[in-house]
Structure 1
Amino acid sequence: MRRRIVIITAVHGPSAHFLPDAYKSIREQELPEGWEWHWVIQQDGKSDDVAPHVPLDDERVTFRQGRPGGPGVARTIALAHADGEYVKILDADDQLPPGALARDLAALEADPGIGWATSRVLDLMPDGSHVGFPGDPEPGPVERGEVLAYWKANGFRAQVHPATLCVRRDLLVALGGWMALPASEDTGLLLALNATSRGWFSPEVGLLYRKWPGQATGQATHTDTDERDARMAVVEARARALAQFTWRYPADG
């Protein structure tokens, strides 16, 4: 039986036209022998403006709709169809560079004590150019608590990008999926993962992060001071509470 990595994508109308680029980047991935991918696309809401951009003729693609609740809710609902050992996050407007999935699998398969993997990111600019930025950690394991400490000391900016996460499905489900927040739900998941398990950072580029006027992180509501402070407070409180518990992944680790 072939083993499976599930790619989860939350999408809404304004970002749907980027789905063909994301699909192309997935189809170009070369997986190790015995592996296959399953792409689960979950629309945040019910409308007719997303389905035309979904490759419905590919049996490896699952498309679902649901009532709106934000990207974290959409991704968590999509876990119902995540029928593989690993879950890879891919936002609708981003792309996977060649080799991204294979590198994630290599890291996670090599060490059962690693719960999640991340990688270097390049911004994909509107003109098609790529822009990098400094601050990546050393390649290799990311120990428990490292991300929270860095995030707290650097203006709520983590040294690894939550949009690059590839996670063991059982660990992701145990943590309840993504946080119920209007934004920063992926950062909340990253810090919870880091509080309970060791991770991995790959220095090779694992994500092209699209910059465009309609992206959620570019909107004024994303930087509203009061809401941002509240989001950061609950994200930190959850991570610190998890760190105080004796539960760890793996259970005997």
Structure 2
Amino acid sequence: MPLLSIVTPSHQPVREQLLEAYESVRSQKLPADWEVEWVIQEDGDTGAVRDILPGDPMVKFATGRRGGVALTRSIALARAGGELVRNLDQDDVLTPGALARDIDVLSSDPLVQWTTSPALDLMPDGSTVGFDTDPAPGRIEPGFVLEHWRAHDYRLPVHPTTICIRRELAVALGGWMGVPGSDDTGLLVPASVVSYGYFHSEVGLLYRKWPGQETAATGHYAPAEWTLRMRLIEQRAETVRRLWPQIIGTR
């Protein structure tokens, strides 16, 4: 049966948040001929996830050396067996039908190599906040994401953590980019210049906003490091576009 792999890096998970993420995965309704696995890779070797989650054959958990989010996410990719790979952070929540919509597009349109969807910020009080800058739903042309990102002070038109991508493309691009933050941007932007994407109209993710998240740390936006990360991601995208022989999916 075809398989979709959800990959999740984990470090010092909050019990209630991880259980909510688990329920959002467990409750997904898939097409009849598809299966899902949740590949969780701990950034470290405490076994904390095993102590929180119930025994479930869907969950594939492993520990490893400390290495940061990007390295841990890519190790999870190495363990993933699915032809499609969906990102999910340990504190976020999938919405009902999110995986089925990814599968529907990627199994029916060979030109599309990745999908993204609207995300709502999930606030500490349980309320949600949306955005009015989402692109129109449907196919995303190669180059659109990069040019928008450049023109809007390195702000993406789509939320990179919602990505579901063909595993072959993710592996060819080296997985999530080995930078201290913005590793999901470092995968999405290069993927978007060499292939078509797709933006769903339906919300696919609740993105939890809380003090413990990586993007809430002051260092994430330190000007010197931020500039270097954005410069390297941009150079990676331009180099991939220049050296890649053709747009993926058109051959």
* TM-score bracket for this pair, using the shorter chain length: over 0.9
CA distance in 2, matches of 1:166, 1:187: 13
For the 8 Å contact 1:196–1:247, the answer to whether it is kept is: no
For the 8 Å contact 2:190–2:237, the answer to whether it is kept is: yes
Q: Please, which of 83, 86, 101 is the counterpart of residue 85 of structure 1?
A: 83
| Matched position secondary structure for 2:220 | helix
Q: CA deviation at 1:15?
A: 4.3
| Matched position secondary structure for 1:123 | strand
Kindly indicate whether residue 93 of structure 2 is the aligned counterpart of residue 68 of structure 1: no
Residues 15-30 of structure 1 aligned to structure 2 (within 5 Å): 15=14, 17-30=16-29
Report the residue type matching 2:222 in the other structure.
D
Report the residue type matching 2:6 in the other structure.
I
CA distance in 2, matches of 1:239, 1:15: 35
Q: CA deviation at 1:243?
A: 1.2
Q: CA deviation at 1:51?
A: 2.7
Q: CA deviation at 1:53?
A: 1.6
CA distance in 2, matches of 1:251, 1:14: 38
Residue equivalent to 1:172: 170
Q: CA deviation at 1:114?
A: 0.6
* Unpaired runs of at least 5, structure 2: none
Q: CA deviation at 1:17?
A: 4.5
* Unpaired runs of at least 5, structure 1: none
Residue equivalent to 2:108: 110
Residue equivalent to 2:11: 12
Q: Please, which of 133, 139, 142 is the counterpart of residue 141 of structure 1?
A: 139
Aligned pairs, number? 251
For the 8 Å contact 2:122–2:129, the answer to whether it is kept is: yes
Residues 1-253 of structure 1 aligned to structure 2 (within 5 Å): 2-15=1-14, 17-55=16-54, 57-250=55-248, 252-253=250-251
For the 8 Å contact 1:115–1:249, the answer to whether it is kept is: no
Alpha carbons of structure 1 residues 126 and 42: separation in structure 2 relative to 1, 3 Å: same
TM-score for the superposition, normalised by structure 2: 0.96
Residues 181-207 of structure 1: per-residue CA shift (max 9 Å, x gap): 010110010001101111000010000
Report the residue type matching 1:81 in the other structure.
R
Farther-moved stretch of structure 1 (207-216 vs 243-252): 243-252
Q: CA deviation at 1:250?
A: 2.9
CA distance in 2, matches of 1:182, 1:54: 28
Percent of aligned positions that are identical: 49
For the 8 Å contact 2:13–2:90, the answer to whether it is kept is: no
CA distance in 2, matches of 1:16, 1:77: 23
For the 8 Å contact 1:16–1:92, the answer to whether it is kept is: no
| Matched position secondary structure for 2:93 | coil
For the 8 Å contact 1:141–1:199, the answer to whether it is kept is: yes
For the 8 Å contact 1:171–1:249, the answer to whether it is kept is: no
Residues 101-152 of structure 1: per-residue CA shift (max 9 Å, x gap): 0001111111111110000110111011111011100110111110010011
Q: CA deviation at 1:60?
A: 1.1
CA distance in 2, matches of 1:30, 1:249: 32
| Matched position secondary structure for 1:9 | strand
Alpha carbons of structure 1 residues 51 and 174: separation in structure 2 relative to 1, 3 Å: same
CA distance in 2, matches of 1:16, 1:119: 26
CA RMSD across the alignment: 1.3
